Amino acid sequence: MIKEIISKIRKLLPSKLIKLDWNGSSLTLVGNGWSFSTDQPWRLTTNRFVICGSEDDFELAHSEIRKISKLNVIDIDFQSKIIASDLVFCFEKDCYLEVFSSSSVDPWTCNIKESNVVYIGSPSDPACVDPVI
């Protein structure tokens, strides 16, 4: 399932976000033809260090996450090389938004307009987790 999500969103990239919202408990990204929402942990990184994460001070996290709303999303990929259950959104300027499922049941949703389907991440369901290799 996750390979299908990645493939479909990649066809819509690069693009700016239409909306990015972090309210302290849930994170929502809306792009042209897709949306993603989670209440699971996330972190914002560069290719060298962690900028902030969902567990950091709200004002810091909110300020930093707003900065990426002005950048293009240039790719999407698996968050981990071990299990293909979560996503990383790759922005220009070597900036990455990584999502981590800390719950085995419905940690995130992804809607892709063209497929008219809402994908629900379920890392404990083998049908939802693709092999990384």
pLDDT over 90 at 106, yes or no:
no
| Amino acid occupying residue 121 | G
User: Which pLDDT band, with edges at 50, 70 and 90, does 92 fall under?
Assistant: very high
Encoding tokens for residue 17? 């976000």
Task: For the chain, list the strands marked E by DSSP.
Answer: 15-16, 19-22, 27-31, 34-38, 42-46, 50-53, 72-78, 87-91, 95-99, 108-112, 117-121
According to the model, what pLDDT value does residue 78 have? Answer: 83
Domain boundaries, the chain: 2-121
According to the model, what pLDDT value does residue 83 have? Answer: 66
According to the model, what pLDDT value does residue 109 have? Answer: 86
In this prediction the pTM is: 0.87
Encode pLDDT of 4-37 as tens digits.
888 999 999 999 999 999 999 999 999 999 999 9
